[in-house]
Structure 1
């Protein structure tokens, strides 16, 4: 009934420190894979977190394994919960939030609704989910799986993957791609700030900078 595999190796701290400088939307300029469905949104705005994915798959009305899993979490983990298609029952609420934060987890991501928004906010614990629901799960002992490949918001998440989550969404990265993606994104962000400064100073128009105006004028000619 239960599959509980060993906890994954955590993503190196230096790679996560680099990834923490990145915006998901920057990576979205060139990468298509690894983004969760846009309907998985932050419950607390203005947060950016990075961490190691610990995965969980639990069905509709049961959260037995989720309660157990909170006792296995480590500092720096992000618990990613595959709800196996359910969008009715809230498996994550105030009690789970307190337990996950006490274990040192930095965030939770649920492919379904949560509940107890006020308690989540009072705990100051970043959460991403498909909104809220008053209908909660129970300890029904129906089974589930931990630290197996899961699907969350249409993205495949392997235990030990790196997670970057911010106000724009959630990105999943294989651990061996973190540094390359982060370095490219940081370079793009740096160049972008320089371009924005030029536009702000009135040195150049956005359409000129991006090449859009040249394309429009060419078609009008």
Structure 2
């Protein structure tokens, strides 16, 4: 009925610290994989979190294993919940929020609806989900899996993956990818700020990016 594996090794703190200054949309300028679909959205505005993925798969109207998993979470964990296709039942509400925050978890991500938005806001606990719902799960004791490969937002998530989530979306990275991708993203963010400063001083965006040269080459007799 239940598959429960060991809690994953946390992502190195230095890697998470580097990733914490990265915007998901910056990575989206060149990296193609690991982005959950945009139906999974933040319930609280203006938040960016990084952490270690703890993965959970629970079926339909049953959240028994979610309640158990909440007691196993550690500081820095992000609980990522695969609802196995169910979009009707809200498995995560105020009680789970309080338990997850008390354990030190930094966020929850649910491939389905949540409930009790006011309590989530009062707890100041960042959540990403497919909106809100009033029909909740129960303790039916059907089964589920903890810390096994799951799918959330169309993305495969492994226990111990690094997770970056902000207002633009959720990005899942394998542990070995974090430092390289974060370093490149920070370089691009720095270059972007310099370009923005130049535009404010009168430079043309298309000139700086090369877009205008491409357009002019076409309209001035370039290849069609």
Q: What is the CA distance between 1:90 and its match in structure 2?
A: 0.2
Which runs of 5 or more residues in structure 1 are unaligned? none
Q: What is the CA distance between 1:217 and its match in structure 2?
A: 1.5
Corresponding residue pairs, total? 220
Counterpart for residue 178 of structure 2: 178
Output the CA distance in 2 between the equivalents of 1:187 and 1:94: 39
Counterpart for residue 27 of structure 1: 27
Q: What is the CA distance between 1:52 and its match in structure 2?
A: 0.1
Counterpart for residue 8 of structure 1: 8
Output the CA distance in 1 between the equivalents of 2:217 and 2:181: 35
Deviations 1:107-128 (A, max 9, x none): 0000000000010000000000
The within-5 A match list for 1:139-178 is 139-178=139-178
**What SS does structure 2 have at the residue aligned with 1:52?**
strand
Counterpart for residue 190 of structure 1: 190
Output the CA distance in 2 between the equivalents of 1:32 and 1:219: 29
Counterpart for residue 220 of structure 1: 219
After the TM superposition, list the runs of 4 or more consecutive aligned residues in structure 1 that deviate by more than 4 angstroms: none
Tell me the TM-score normalized by structure 2.
0.97
Output the CA distance in 2 between the equivalents of 1:64 and 1:149: 19
Which runs of 5 or more residues in structure 2 are unaligned? none
Deviations 1:154-195 (A, max 9, x none): 000000000000000000000111101100100000011001
Tell me the TM-score normalized by structure 1.
0.99
Q: Does 1:41 align with 2:77?
A: no
Counterpart for residue 62 of structure 2: 62
Q: What is the CA distance between 1:212 and its match in structure 2?
A: 1.1
Counterpart for residue 109 of structure 1: 109
Counterpart for residue 209 of structure 2: 210
RMSD of aligned Cα (Å): 0.5
Output the CA distance in 2 between the equivalents of 1:25 and 1:79: 22
